[in-house]
Amino acid sequence: MRIALFLFFLVSASLHLLAQSSFVKGIVSDKNGPLVGAEVIIVETQQKTATNEKGIYTFQVERSGVIHVSAFNLDYQSQVKTVELPTDQSVNFELQLFSQNIEEVKIEAKKENNFGISRLKSVEGTAIYAGKKSEVVVMEDVAGNLATNNSRQVFAKVAGLNIWENDGAGIQLGIGGRGLNPNRVSNFNTRQNGYDMSADALGYPESYYSPPSEAVERIEIVRGAASLQYGTQFGGFINFKLKDGPNDRPIEIIVRETVGSFGFNNTFASIGGTKGKWKYYGFYQYKTGDGWRDNSEFDVHTAHANLRYAINPKMDIGVEYTYMHYLAQQAGGLTDVRFNQDPQQSIRDRNWFQVDWNLAAINFDYRISNKTTFNTRAFGLIAGRDALGFLGDINRNDPMGERDLLVDDFKNYGIESRILHRYQLFNKSNIALFGARYYSGFTDRKQGNGSANSDADFNYLRPNNLEHSDYDFPSQNLALFSENIFYINEKWSVTPGVRFEYINTESEGYYKVRSVDLSGNILFEDNIEDNRAKSRSFLLGGIGLSYKPKDNLEYYSNFSQNYRSINFNDMRIVNTNARVDPNLKDETGYTADVGIRGSYKDIISYDASAFLLSYNNRIGQIQKIDENLFNYYLLRTNVSDSRSYGIETFVEVELLKLFKSKTESFGWSVFSNFSVMEATYINSDNEAIDGNEVELVAPIIFKSGMAFRFKNLKLNYQYSYTAQHYTDATNSESTANAVNGIVPSYSVMDLSVSYEFKKYFSLYSGVNNLLNNSYFTRRASGYPGPGIIPAEPRNCYLTLQFKW
């Protein structure tokens, strides 16, 4: 902890000691006065900033000679002016609307930095991020196996994430922040291009679909402070921004072919471009493989199409559709003993998993004026997932009888509208956001017996008389939200916000109670009707502060309330390893952050923060023994209140630029991503839990790496470490069925290399788990287990890309 605190303040202090040079500053305005949020770029250094509430911008420039300064804003013509350094310069701009006839100026701006990760600006589109902990993963700079969505590499520079490695193909994403459960990203509000992509945002917020990394432009992440704009989840918000085709050509084609270890093969093809008022993008991905363990083959198809039309310079509309289907055989889990003997073995050969995903959206943008912008998104999902196999304890042999079959069908739709307005108050510029959201979710969940064969037959044996349960889970949600940036002066801003939520969740269906003798004969059987409904409404609040003493340096803090409703569709499932408390209560709490972030030219990028996560009525798992003292099981219930706190730091340095070496042909950067966390249960009535460590909270998560560049050749090395942690609230060391116990600390090394040919071709290759370490990241209570899910051993890949 002392080392982390030292690093935290060392980064802050070092930035103030950097040598100063010339200043370029000025005002950007139109005929009516200053423009807030106008963007200004120094073309030669690619330094970029935005004007404050008085229309003022400032640059500190380490350069002499002639430079070009460009200013531009929405609905305005860009302007470029030439100045000469090293003396301080005052450069003002008066921009003119597009409707006025002035000479056109073409600006080609590069990305904001060369680090592969950045932060969201205070305002982007119709969203406010001022004072919030945020990260943006720039996929163009991610070094790793994109064909397998390697999360360890994709999210390498995002601090504090615990990553589950369920499969080597990256079919499902499993990440959790600040000790929250990583299972299918269920503690984040997950979105694609700004709209929901999870199964059921209220009743079942897990995502079985993950966008292919090869099709993603960037990943936007906002921690718990996202609760006021994007939903009340404790984890926050993740948005996958897909590529949408180039603006400067009618057609661009990319084809990528990847081969890898264990029979892995991936084909990815995309096409996109702009022609007149039309813009389009589409991709198709097919990947298949044998898996590194027996009984772990997979077959995945993913496709997407996006079409936009510019109605006029201020208004455009877009439609998009995403399809995914995959079939995967699941090798099942292992006990601790079996894992230590041979992690590659599988003792389940009849378990299968199938997913169909159909996701569509309509997006409408209207730039009402240079001060007011409106956006609305309508979206819908028709999807399903089928799980087939034997869910019994992994320390028991498969009896080879009829298999459990769980079928979920999802039908959801929603609409979310936002309006962002810039206005003057007491001679100060301010920015207001108002939004509304309506969401309707419907999940049909069935559980019964499937065939006793070994194939992927997802049909019930007795569909009109299911052996376990049949439920419908309808839900409705109405939310109204607002945030406002008040600029106190040129350096200080405060952003209060509020969100009103109405949630209605219902369960309609039945489950069966059955008594059997020792031979398995049914002695008693009865259908229990189980119809429930719960409505609630509440108000959440939050506030953020931002202090920017200079360009590219910010101190920030935020406090936001959080809320997580119980999921009715998790409350009735027949699983010998897990049961659910029928009296579950909703979870409440808050998230608080304080930190410093910034950059210095293209030399140093950093973000260091401390956080507190207060969680009341936390739902967790307690190990119990059944009434017959026959076996252990997990009870999912409101375990206790908990408090989690920690420090998250990220620093990346371009070493050659730091020492002012010539970098036209060479590059050498290093990064450090370090988080230290502590989380405990408090105020518990259960003495066996009070004071225990919260499950799935790794006290230390550390990632570091180096990147070397010589002309078109790039070499990247990454080291990842996650400390030992528990998987249940009772902090059990181990269990016979391996569902609970310790996840031992583990470390992994990855190496990747890429080479870009002059025009059309690029080559990517690498070795993951370089030292062939044997480790696991999770213990599963159900699919894809139960038991220990081993992570992949050493594996290689090779990708050839053609771009035209």
Give dist(CA 382, CA 380) in Å, integer: 7
pLDDT more than 70, % of the chain: 92
Whether 193 is in a domain gets the answer no
* CATH for 28: 2.60.40.1120
Give me the pLDDT at residue 419, please. 98
Give dist(CA 636, CA 585) in Å, integer: 11
Per-residue pLDDT, averaged over 581-593, amounts to 89
Q: How confident is the model at residue 445 (pLDDT cuts 50, 70, 90)?
A: very high
How many residues are listed for the chain in this entry? Answer: 804
pLDDT of 114 strictly over 60: no
Lowest-confidence region among 85-89, 139-143, 334-338: 85-89
Q: At residue 269, what is the residue type?
A: A
Rounded to 5°, angle at Cα 778 from 792 and 638: 165
Whether 140 is in a domain gets the answer no
pLDDT of 21 strictly over 70: no
Task: Report which of residues 105 and 372 the model is more confident about.
Answer: 372
Q: How confident is the model at residue 614 (pLDDT cuts 50, 70, 90)?
A: very high
pLDDT of 11 strictly over 80: no
Give me the pLDDT at residue 660, please. 73
Give me the pLDDT at residue 151, please. 95
Give me the pLDDT at residue 248, please. 86
How many CB atoms are closer than 10 A to CB 536?
A: 12
The first and second tokens of residue 74, run together, are 């929405």
Lowest-confidence region among 411-425, 457-471, 566-580: 566-580
Range of the structural domain that residue 691 is part of: 239-803
Residues 521-575 have pLDDT tens digits of 777 778 888 888 889 999 999 999 999 998 889 999 999 999 998 876 556 555 5
The first and second tokens of residue 231, run together, are 């939903």
- Spell 193-226 as b/e; 16+ CB within 10 A means b: bbbbbbbbbbbbbbbbbbbbbbbbebbbbbbbbb
Per-residue pLDDT, averaged over 301-320, amounts to 96
pLDDT more than 90, % of the chain: 66
Give dist(CA 266, CA 297) in Å, integer: 14
Which run of H or E residues covers position 412?
strand 403-425
pLDDT of 761 strictly over 50: yes
Residues 379-416 have pLDDT tens digits of 999 999 999 999 888 999 999 999 999 999 999 999 99
Same domain for 106 and 248: no
Contact present, 514 and 468 (Cβ < 8 Å): no
pLDDT of 247 strictly over 90: no
Task: Report which of residues 376 and 141 the model is more confident about.
Answer: 376
Give me the pLDDT at residue 628, please. 58
2-11, 166-175, 178-187, 591-600, range with greatest mean pLDDT: 591-600
Whether 154 is in a domain gets the answer no
Lowest-confidence region among 293-297, 422-426, 593-597: 422-426
Per-residue pLDDT, averaged over 189-199, amounts to 95
* β partners of residue 137: 117, 219
Give me the pLDDT at residue 620, please. 74
By C-alpha distance, which of 739, 693, 742, 740 is closest to 722?
Answer: 742
Distances 621 to 181, 499, 578, 639, 726 between C-alpha atoms, Å: 12, 30, 9, 7, 11
pLDDT of 617 strictly over 80: yes
Whether 152 is in a domain gets the answer no
Whether 215 is in a domain gets the answer no
Whether 175 is in a domain gets the answer no
Task: Report which of residues 162 and 106 the model is more confident about.
Answer: 162
Residues 711-732 have pLDDT tens digits of 899 999 999 999 999 999 889 9
Give me the pLDDT at residue 325, please. 98
* CATH for 433: 2.40.170.20
Give me the pLDDT at residue 532, please. 85
Q: How confident is the model at residue 33 (pLDDT cuts 50, 70, 90)?
A: confident
Supply the DSSP symbol for 112. Answer: S
Q: How confident is the model at residue 229 (pLDDT cuts 50, 70, 90)?
A: very high
Q: Which of 95, 110, 125 is the last residue of a domain?
A: 110
* β partners of residue 365: 316, 375
Give me the pLDDT at residue 106, please. 40
Give me the pLDDT at residue 96, please. 85
Give me the pLDDT at residue 14, please. 41
Whether 137 is in a domain gets the answer no
Q: Which of 75, 110, 145 is the last residue of a domain?
A: 110
Give dist(CA 609, CA 600) in Å, integer: 18
Same domain for 243 and 103: no
Residues 690-708 have pLDDT tens digits of 999 999 999 999 999 999 9
pLDDT of 468 strictly over 60: yes
Average pLDDT for the chain: 89
Give me the pLDDT at residue 708, please. 93
Give me the pLDDT at residue 576, please. 55
Handedness of CA 230, 231, 236, 242 (dihedral sign): negative
The first and second tokens of residue 558, run together, are 């935020």
* β partners of residue 575: 578
Q: Count of domains in the chain? A: 2
Rg (CA), the chain: 27
Supply the DSSP symbol for 427. Answer: T
Q: Which of 110, 127, 151 is the last residue of a domain?
A: 110
Give dist(CA 184, CA 191) in Å, integer: 13
Give me the pLDDT at residue 278, please. 95
Whether 8 is in a domain gets the answer no
Give dist(CA 32, CA 531) in Å, integer: 61
The first and second tokens of residue 444, run together, are 């049909």
Per-residue pLDDT, averaged over 636-657, amounts to 91
Give me the pLDDT at residue 569, please. 53
Distances 710 to 91, 291, 656, 667, 766 between C-alpha atoms, Å: 37, 35, 12, 7, 17
Q: How confident is the model at residue 255 (pLDDT cuts 50, 70, 90)?
A: very high
Task: Report which of residues 352 and 618 the model is more confident about.
Answer: 352
